[in-house]
Structure 1
Amino acid sequence: MPAFPLFSPGSLLDLPKGTSVSRPVRLLPRRAALAAGSLAVLAGVTSGALLLAGGASTASDVPSRGVPEEVAVKPVRTDGGAVMQIVSHPDDDLFFMNPDTARTIAASRSLTSVYLTAGESDGRNARRQDPQPPADKAAYAEARQNGIRAAYAEMATGNRTSPWDRTSITTAGGARAELDTLRARPGVSLVWVQLREAGSVAGDRPESLRGLWDGRVPELGSQLAAGSPVRDGFAYTKDEVVATVAGLLERFRPTFVRTLDPTPGVRDGDGALSDHQDHMYGARFAQAALERYARTPGHPATGVQTYLGYATGGLPHSLDPATAREKLRSLETYAWLDLEDHCGDPAGCGDRKVAARPAGRDWAQSIRYTRGESTSWLRRGGDGTLYAFGVLDGRLAVWRKPVGAAWTGPLLLPDGGLDGSVTTVALPDGRVAAFGTRTRLDPYRREVGYVVQGAPGGPFGPWRSLGTPEPDDAAGTSDISRPAVLVDRAGALSVFVRDARHRLAVTSGTAGGDWSGWAVAGGSGVHGDPVAVADAAGRGYVFAATADSVLAWTRGALGGTPTGPVATGLPATTVALGAAPDGEGVGLWFRRPDSGDVRVARFAAGSGRPSAVRDVPGSGGYGAVSAEGGRLAARGRAGGLATAPNARGGAWRTAGPLFAGAPAGVADGVAVVGLDGRLLWTATGGPTRIGP
């Protein structure tokens, strides 16, 4: 895998190879002087900063506490790959990506978090119930930065005051951004792009990432934090934001990227966005940058995981109490609960708005992936070859293990834009097909599709689109799930997705290309990704979680249209589901809310209601559970792979690195894809890592 580039000392411009800036970015001068008597200036010379109290400001006249000029940066790379998180606001990562963020830092990996906006809000760093100070957006943006630095320092070193080096770097968009590097752990860094935030969850704010993406404004200006080493304001066009993020990808060369969900959907009641508009459009800018970065020669192949934002608070808690407390501690550090002046900055040492509710709206108790937790991405073809599928650089990555031979791959198929992970099925003639979703950026839409082998053991053909059940992006933000697929003995296929109205939609056809249109299969209040499985006799089952239970659809052994939904009567789950054949029926594996322990419900042949539900002891963690191949595999509490010797449990073993998505299994082994884009295969002989 390519090594990180070395940046020579004294370099003034670190642009990706082949990157050009079409025109100068308009630099807006910092305020040169203050009108006498209009603002009171509180001196903070000993801490190297001034706090401007009184009116709102674009950027305060304060020197950086770091190095004001760009310096040579050598990103730190570890064996487990490099991770980048791209979010819109300070705290998006703490609310929605932790504990994955903390697990990555603990594993000594290179982690860079990129914040697209300053998060300046109304410029008042106070709880709503407290007396409100004068608005100063620059100071509030600085306080939020201080809170993030404290939280990351504490996660990395145990000490929230562990020092950072703050520098100014040139961006590929033509302006400058702030780069903070944790001195004790140089592999941990923060990048502050410092664009203006929308200032409203869903309100009409043209001066925003949303307005810029939709073309309502030609450019979006900056909001510099009070202590930032970036001296001059600027404004970016849409393309310059994409270029800036793509340039950061080239600079840090991640093997794995985390963003929030670019298609979070709308609320069932009033049709309003279910997430903050900055979250959604910041993620879309990240998608566009990743697509551009994927065309950069010589870069390491990159995996992507998206995370559910605000909507996760309305679903059952997915974390056990100890992990939730760990997550909450980082949020409390960020929120500066004790008001101790540990940072020496008059702007404040954290985000007091969050102090009123550090857990958010039940966000601290959960973490959820979107379209990334398939447990069916391992599949054996008719000739005995075992295939593993992932998504790298937005392309389908295929590993192969012929009978009696070693693994080879990955081979990246040519079509791009694929999301998350894929669902696979074996056709009756021995061919393998892989189904997933794909994002097209202009105009924006997400579609369902698949690739299929031309012959058993042969190469996979091009992407075949099945369209989408959504009328357009505006109706529901293109919010469709990863597909679930049933195949009958004659090769007829039924493909299910959750639509933006939280129902199941279905299309039917054959791998050869004759497909029906999308139809509503029923259900309401469906969340997450549906799963499908056939029992030993060929009867089909489809399961989809709601906030309270699970719905089921069933199909006879001779095929036909599945019927349902049936209310299973199951208790609430954490939404992520895994299904596999179990005797003459099937089993559904899920996690108990507020504990992460695994439970299994057994469905007798052809039934949509469980005949038994039992706990699987000793199996805490989060995410989907794989039960294919007669053994259990899941994400353990520490983020690594946890396995049990049989589908009923037994003594769990935890080992291995952090990984993307969910594990998958077959009779002779379990596999995960690491954050470095490599396949880790665990068989009876022990783990073996393969890949580039």
Structure 2
Amino acid sequence: MPLPSRPRLAALLAAITVGVAGTTAWAYGHVTGRQADGPEAFVTPSVTQGSALQVVAHPDDDLFFMNPDLSRSISTGIKVTTVYLTSGESDGRNEAHSPHLQDAAGPADRAAYAEARQNGIRAAYAEMATGERTSAWQRRSIPTAGGGSAEVDVLVARPEVNLVWMQLREARSISGDNPDSLRGLWDGKVPALGAQLTSGTPVKPWFSYTKDQAVAAIADVFARYEPTTIRTQDPTPGRTAAGTFLDHQDHVYGARFVQAAAERYAKSADRPHFSLQNYVSYPNSSLPPTLDPQAAEEKLGYLKTYAWMDHQDWCGSPAGCGDRKTATRPTGAGWSQTIRYSRGDGTSWLTEGPTGRLWAFAVLDGRMAYWSRTGAQAPWQGPRFLPGTGPGTVVDAGAKAVRLPDGRIAVFATRTTLGTTPQDYGRDVVYAVQAAAGGTFGPWRSLGTPDTADISGTSAIGGPAVAVDPAGRMTVYVRDSARTLRARTQEAAGGSFGAWEELGGAGLQGDPVTATDGSGRRHVYAATTGS
């Protein structure tokens, strides 16, 4: 049966914090395995404030790369949903990456290994939500807008916690050019990508999705859960000198499907505003830890639960109760000690205009929104939206706002063009300026990109930093895909920008920051892997 729609009751906006009341769970379904008692045990939907939805390529991407954001969201009691695009079937062996252990493990069984990973994920989420890995789940097959089916799991004790399994075939290679993959589907190398159904799943008919059907299926999940926050992986992590992606290809192209689905979902009516945040995945390996020891240990504990470290048969599944590959190294490549956003982690989204009026900016629904207030005691007014940046485009997370000498505000961002072909995909720097101090914003203008080769494959420019000199000329700084610093400077205040300059540097990470001192000199700082 088709799922009911979820009405939007209210949108709560305060000082750039976005929330929505009235989201309800896909909290019904038949019971399988070690679950709630009775074949028709239904759960009453919950009503929460706000909704966080993660979309990842594989089971464990959320635990490695989005925690502790994920566990903190669960602890607040808001609605939390995670969507897994592929089954993560890998080589079909639920054992360590070792030839002699693989031989001992018997023949490959991709459906069973995918089911073991599901069991591990359910255990980790149950532990995050209830403290008990054995807490019961309800599992149900539901139809998708793409013409296939998805498995929806609802945590009985905490029905606001849901898992959605799209069960598409994974690439089965980190970077190999395998057409039967999300990458192949996005690039048009295959007309459709088939499912890899897990053993024990309530989804029975095999299915496949075209590119448009996959986008429609993901967008439909957004429409049903109405998230106020969408978390996903990095669609443009860049490439190595040898030309391979710095991240798993499923991470990259899964995130691009999320971008396209979010752009489609944003066109729907009667939905809450939403923000989208990208997370760094494999590149975290070369970066310093960001979590304190207590947070890192908590995160590692959930990973150990997923990895089925004790090897005790607590789930009763022939496939196994977790992912034994991860048990070899539950810390990942240092991933348990860190969490990073790939863009939009700066603080220059707030600036002061004339007479002390504050202006704040954030990207909502793929568009730039702004709020303002006239004084410290005045309420925030907004959100109001700048015009869109064009059909088939979305504004990326992050905003950089500056005040010009005449009191006008300028806001900068990067824009992703989705396009109609794989070659159209790319990112450029855009900006808009108020027509008069305190007034409306003019149209978006593009500064292009410092990247000139393989734009559709990389486009890994960072968010812009902006400095204004005493004459009112703006200089924009960007980390390019080669991890060096580039800049464009206005030739005159209010005029056109010159060409991109090469300012050097190596291995730059994150977004640069800039300031102008009392003598008018510009200072720019950027992080590297070591300093």
Question: TM-score scaled by structure 2?
Answer: 0.90
| Aligned residue pairs, count | 498
Q: Which moved more, 1:182-191 or 1:473-482?
A: 473-482
Q: Is 1:390–1:422's contact at 8 Å kept on the other side of the alignment?
A: yes
Matched to 1:436, the amino acid is A
What CA distance in whole angstroms lies between the structure 1 residues aligned with 2:450 and 2:284? 23
2:322 alignment partner, SS class: coil
| Cross-structure match for 1:464 | 445
Against the structure 1 CA distance between its residues 214 and 291, is the aligned structure 2 distance closer, same or farther, given a 3 Å change threshold?
A: same
Give the alignment partner of residue 388 of structure 2, picking from 393, 411, 415: 415
C-alpha distance in 1 between matches for 2:179 and 2:459: 21
1:113 partnered with 2:94: no
Q: Please state whether the residue corresponding to 1:332 is helix, strand or coil.
A: helix
1:656-692 per-position Cα deviation (integer Å, ceiling 9, x unaligned): xxxxxxxxxxxxxxxxxxxxxxxxxxxxxxxxxxxxx
Cα deviation, 1:182-221, whole Å, max 9, x if unaligned, reads 0000010000000000000000100000000000100000
CA contact (8 A) 2:32 2:139 kept: no
Give me the whole-angstrom Cα distance separating, in 1, the residues matched to 2:326 and 2:261.
30
Picking from 193, 199, 211, the partner of 2:184 is 211
* Aligned counterparts of 1:114 and 1:286: Cα–Cα separation in 2: 11
**Counterparts in 2 of 1:218 and 1:342: CA distance versus 1, 3 Å:** same
User: Secondary structure of the residue that 1:370 maps to in structure 2?
Assistant: coil
Residue number in structure 2 paired with 1:426: 403
Change (3 A) 1:180 1:453: same
User: Does structure 1 residue 184 correspond to structure 2 residue 165?
Assistant: no
Query: Post-superposition shift, 1:271?
Result: 2.8
SS at match of 2:72: helix
* C-alpha distance 251-342 of structure 1, shift in aligned 2 (>3 A): same
- Aligned position for 1:310: 282
Q: Secondary structure at the match of 2:344?
A: coil
Displacement of 1:472: 4.4
Per-residue deviation, residues 112-154 of structure 1 (Å, max 9, x unmatched): 0000000001111001232332111110010000000000000
Q: What pairs with 1:164-563 in structure 2 (closer than 5 Å)?
A: 164-267=137-240, 269-403=241-375, 405-416=378-389, 417-442=394-419, 443-474=424-455, 477-509=458-490, 512-549=494-531
Contact persistence 1:68–1:168 (CA under 8 A): no
CA contact 1:118–1:141 (8 Å) conserved in 2: yes
C-alpha distance in 2 between matches for 1:101 and 1:396: 25
Q: What is aligned with 1:78?
A: 48
**Structure 1 contact 6–73 (Cα < 8 Å) conserved:** no
2:152 corresponds to which letter in structure 1? Answer: L
1:571 is aligned to none
Q: Do the aligned residues in 2 keep the contact of 1:166 with 1:181 (CA within 8 Å)?
A: yes
Q: Pick closer, same or farther for the CA change 1:155–1:292 going to 2, 3 Å.
A: same
Cα distance in 1, alignment partners of residues 43 and 437 from structure 2: 49
* 2:409 alignment partner AA: V
Contact residue 25 and residue 46 of structure 2 kept, 8 A: no
My pick for the range that moved more, 309-318 or 416-425, is: 416-425
Whether the 8 Å CA contact 1:96–1:308 is kept in 2: the answer is: yes
CA contact (8 A) 1:153 1:160 kept: yes
Q: What percent of counterpart residues are identical?
A: 55
Match for 1:430: what amino acid? G
Separation (CA, whole Å) in 1 of partners of 2:56 and 2:27? 29
The answer to whether the 8 A contact 2:408-2:437 is kept is yes
Letter in 2 for 1:225: T
- In structure 1, the residue matched to 2:92 is 123
Moved more, 413-422 or 444-453: 413-422
Amino acid across the alignment from 2:270: G
User: Counterparts of 1:469 and 1:476 in 2: how far apart (Å)?
Assistant: 14
3-state DSSP of counterpart to 2:398: coil
Q: Is the 8 A contact 2:476 2:487 kept in 1?
A: yes
C-alpha separation in 2, matches of 1:10 and 1:116: 21
Displacement, 1:94?
0.4
Maintained 8 Å contact 1:243/1:289: yes
CA distance in 2, matches of 1:390, 1:69: 46
Secondary structure at the aligned position of 2:296 is classed as helix
Distance in 2, matches of 1:8 and 1:363, equals 31
Q: Report the CA distance shift for 1:67/1:239 in structure 2 as closer, same or farther (over 3 A).
A: farther
- Report the CA distance shift for 1:344/1:317 in structure 2 as closer, same or farther (over 3 A): same
| 1:462–1:545 CA distance, 2 compared to 1 (3 A) | same
1:625-674 alpha-carbon deviations (Å, 9 max, x no partner):
xxxxxxxxxxxxxxxxxxxxxxxxxxxxxxxxxxxxxxxxxxxxxxxxxx
Inter-partner Cα distance in structure 2 for 1:292 and 1:530: 31
Give distance in 1, aligned partners of 2:203 and 2:493: 55
Distance of 2:322 and 2:430 partners within structure 1? 45
- 2:63 maps to 94
Aligned equivalents of 2:463 and 2:300: distance in 1?
30
Distance 1:10 1:342, change over 3 A: closer
Structure 1 gaps, min length 5? 12-46, 50-63, 550-692
Per the TM alignment, residue 406 of structure 1 is displaced from its structure 2 partner at its CA by 2.5
Give the superposition deviation at 1:362.
0.9
For 1:547, give the aligned amino acid: T
* Structure with the largest fraction of strand: 1
Is the radius of gyration larger for structure 1 or structure 2? Answer: 1
Check the 8 A contact 2:484/2:504 in 1, yes or no. yes
RMSD: 2.4
- Return the structure number with greater helix share: 2
Structure 1 residue identity aligned to 2:403: A
Whole-Å separation in 1 of the counterparts to 2:113 and 2:55: 21
Task: Please say if residues 68 and 167 of structure 1, whose CA atoms lie closer than 8 Å, have aligned partners that are also in contact.
Answer: no
**How far apart are the structure 2 equivalents of 1:425 and 1:126?**
53
Shift of 1:78: 2.1
Return the offset for 1:517.
Answer: 1.9
Distance in structure 1 (CA, Å) of the matches to 2:220 and 2:132: 31
